[in-house]
Amino acid sequence: MQRDALAAYLDQLLEPGRFKDYCPNGLQVEGREPIQRLVCGVTACQALLDAAVAQEADGVLVHHGWFWRGEDGRVTGFRKQRLATLLGRDINLFAYHLPLDAHPVLGNNAQWAKACGWAAEGRFGDQDLGWLGHLPISLNAATLAERVSTCLGRPVQLFGDGERLVKRLGWCSGGAQGFFEGAILRGADAYLSGEVSEQTVHLARESGVPYLACGHHATERFGIQALATHLQTHCGLDCRFVDIPNPV
């Protein structure tokens, strides 16, 4: 598949123009024109780039790319090394941030719900990034945390009342603890996201609504894997997901 054709296909599929994001979405670093093999991962870190080189990939496709708003724009240190790895081997870098969180089928939130068996009901929050839904059966928050831990393959931190009965829940992958209060206002019995902040613990205790911190990386592995499978099926690309472990 040609590079520009793949970029156009991804833009049509994920609709980045609908989002006000913190980084450019789409083709971030231009490499060779023909693309047959993609290495896919959560973040365009050096370890993932090295895997792409080792697997002779034509491109890297990630959720967390580069050129974030407000960061130092100088190409020095680790930024120079990362960019040199791609440019020196003519490898493309494609990145989709909020569009991959929000996609109704392939997105992180949709795929997280599918993996855990939650039924989605609606959206809330900034740019409709937060999701609302319900469990098949009511569980207390402690049992929910155990089941999510099993689904994600990592321990989940539970804050608040572990005995609280949960049927309706809100969730948003990554660093979306800021949507917690909005989920409470919409009747969620619990809220799940990737990260936790100091003030979030107090809100869980004082509101009576448990908060589950499930890991930024862990909750954002789903979308890129689903997208890789989609591209392999619909575009005939050789897509290889590489998970670079991250404890947070």
Binding positions for a divalent metal cation are 63-64, 101, 216, 220
Which pLDDT belongs to residue 123? 98
Which pLDDT belongs to residue 165? 98
Report whether 219 contacts 154 (CB < 8 A). no
Which pLDDT belongs to residue 157? 98
In one-letter notation, the amino acid at residue 42 is: V
Which pLDDT belongs to residue 197? 96
State the Cα angle at 248 between 119 and 61, rounded to 5°.
75
Going by pLDDT thresholds of 50, 70 and 90, the confidence category of residue 99 is: very high
**Residue 38: strand, helix, or coil:** strand
Summarised one tens digit per residue, pLDDT across range 143-162 is 999 999 999 999 999 999 99
What angle, 0 to 180 degrees and rounded to 10, lies between the N-to-C axes of helices 46-54 and 77-89? 20
Kind of pairing between the strands at 165-172 and 130-140: antiparallel
The length of the chain in residues reads 248
Which pLDDT belongs to residue 198? 97
Whether the pTM exceeds 0.95: the reply is: yes
**For residues 143 and 148, what is the distance between their CA atoms, to the nearest angstrom?**
9
Binding positions are 63-64, 101, 216, 220
